[in-house]
């Protein structure tokens, strides 16, 4: 139930690979998930109709999104006494049990880091299992059961289901835990940052003493979480060597300002090698450094991991080029939090130098649409030359607040047709357009590609 979601769809594919007969239903299911499910031979229905539960299945796996009490399928399961579990619970018991789980948690960088680790293990012929919350460019699909001992999973803090309000990651029992960062997000379920820290404190307590916890050295929120109780050896890193204070266990030295080349050092062994890849930004340097450390926990030498990372192409919708003209490049990016928006634009600025950057931001997540992070939004696009804020119907506050102080550099647009036409006209100048949203952005990506094709 809820098979169209990233977790549930990939979970269905894993269950199919284990030999189970699978069917599922949801609201309308869109690419790429509907394509993945079809390729796996999984029967899907696009409505929550209890008739799909007849005859009764051996087990109903219940997703999170759009499945509250009152949903007709949920009520049917309860009234008929059918056996059911949440998706994360099933995953923990049926797929992750008895494997070395590498869980990638934190506010930012989960998808990319998970894909990097899975790629390294894949190239090292470890045949890992993995579940990635995005579309990896290099791997054949976003999930694989694998036959090796290691399973790499993107572990988010969102709640498990309507009947289990714990974070999903509480079901994964990692041996190696990565915490990339902790910031306030998910305002629909968390009242404040303290509530999020509380979930991470519980997660830290599930990691065995023979495992490892990988974190940045300089994150005060993570420090507070660990001070709440940690019985596991910690491995620290930073994307640059601090000028003062103790050295982290691992650090990077940028060889190019855009992050496309960096050297990896460890406190114990010194220089380990140099990554030279197509990605950019200090955030990706941190992601790559984390992946090297994580792979080392399952026996992959850093030198080998670095060689594999240099061939890593990334994840779709992370500064993914979706269109190019003679003068301009248009990117799709998943950034939907002020910090992610800022690091993405800074990374691109490092790559393109003084060339013009126009950022188009859709603050459509629940947290952003409430205006909870409006103060951070005012400052996160400083690396862009011009910013367009998209006032969709889901945004519940007036985005003109963001442009009042500097209307020459910002504007608000609520008409998608006018926005598409404006962007296509501006492609006459040498410009980098970055369209940032974690959703469909009302179809703007397809519309721009189609409009440019007619010119």
Q: Give the model confidence (pLDDT) of 367-404 as tens digits.
A: 888 888 888 888 889 999 999 999 888 888 888 888 87
Q: Domain locations in the chain? A: 6-87, 98-309, 320-453
Q: Is 453 left (phi over 0), alpha (psi -120 to 50) or beta?
A: alpha
Instruction: Report the CATH number of the 320-453 domain.
Output: 3.90.190.20
Model confidence band, residue 65 (pLDDT cutoffs 50, 70, 90)? low
CATH match of 98-309 with 3.30.413.10: no
pLDDT reading at 28 higher than 80: no
CB 416 within 8 A of CB 447: yes
The first and second tokens of residue 281, run together, are 């930004």
**Per residue in 86-128, pLDDT tens?**
999 999 999 999 999 999 999 999 999 999 999 999 999 999 9
For the beta carbon of residue 173, count every other beta carbon within 10 angstroms: 18
Q: What is the pTM of this model?
A: 0.92
Q: What is the mean pLDDT of the chain?
A: 91
DSSP label at 247?
Answer: P
Residue 213 φ then ψ, to 5°: -120, 120
- Which class is domain 6-87? alpha beta
pLDDT higher than threshold 90 for residue 407 = no
The C-alpha atoms of residue 225 and residue 181 are separated, in whole angstroms, by 11
């Amino acid at each position: 139930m809820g098979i169209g979601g990233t977790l549930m769809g990939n979970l269905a594919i894993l269950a199919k690979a284990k030999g189970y007969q699978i069917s599922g239903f949801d609201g309308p299911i869109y690419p790429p998930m509907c394509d993945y499910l079809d390729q796996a031979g999984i029967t899907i229905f696009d409505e929550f109709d209890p008739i799909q539960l007849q005859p009764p299945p051996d087990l109903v796996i219940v997703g999170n999104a759009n499945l509250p009490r009152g949903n007709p399928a949920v009520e049917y399961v309860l009234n008929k006494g059918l056996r059911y579990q949440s998706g994360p619970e099933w995953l923990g018991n049926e797929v992750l049990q008895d494997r070395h789980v590498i869980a990638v948690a934190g506010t930012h960088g989960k998808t990319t880091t998970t894909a990097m680790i899975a790629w390294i293990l894949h190239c090292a012929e470890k045949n890992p299992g993995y579940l990635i919350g995005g579309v990896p460019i290099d791997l054949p699909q976003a999930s694989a059961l694998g036959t090796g001992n290691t399973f790499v999973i993107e572990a988010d803090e969102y709640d498990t289901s309507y009947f289990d309000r714990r974070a999903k990651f509480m079901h994964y029992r990692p041996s190696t835990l990565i915490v990339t960062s902790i910031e306030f997000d998910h305002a629909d379920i968390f009242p404040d940052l303290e509530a999020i820290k509380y979930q991470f404190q519980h997660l830290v307590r599930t990691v065995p003493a023979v495992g490892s916890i990988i974190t940045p050295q300089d994150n005060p929120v993570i420090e507070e979480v660990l001070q709440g109780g940690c019985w596991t050896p910690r491995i620290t890193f930073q994307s640059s060597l601090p000028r003062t204070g103790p050295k982290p266990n691992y650090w990077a030295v940028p060889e190019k300002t855009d992050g496309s080349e960096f050297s990896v050092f460890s406190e114990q062994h010194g220089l380990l090698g140099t990554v030279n890849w197509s990605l950019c930004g200090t955030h990706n340097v941190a992601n790559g450094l984390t992946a090297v450390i994580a792979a080392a926990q399952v026996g992959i030498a850093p030198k080998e991991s670095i060689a594999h990372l240099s061939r890593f192409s990334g994840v779709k919708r992370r500064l993914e080029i979706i269109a190019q003209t003679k003068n301009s490049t248009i990117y799709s990016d998943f950034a939907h939090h002020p910090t992610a928006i800022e690091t993405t634009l800074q990374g691109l600025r490092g790559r393109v130098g003084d060339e013009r950057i126009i950022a188009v931001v859709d603050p459509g997540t629940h947290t952003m649409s409430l205006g909870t992070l409006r103060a951070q939004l005012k400052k996160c696009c400083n690396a862009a030359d011009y910013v367009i804020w998209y006032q969709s119907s889901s945004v519940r506050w007036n985005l003109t607040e963001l442009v009042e102080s500097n209307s020459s550099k910002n504007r608000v647009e609520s008409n998608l047709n006018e926005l598409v036409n404006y962007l296509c006209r501006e492609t006459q100048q040498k410009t980098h357009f970055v369209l940032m949203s974690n959703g469909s952005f009302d179809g703007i990506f397809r519309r721009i590609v189609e409009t440019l094709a007619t010119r």
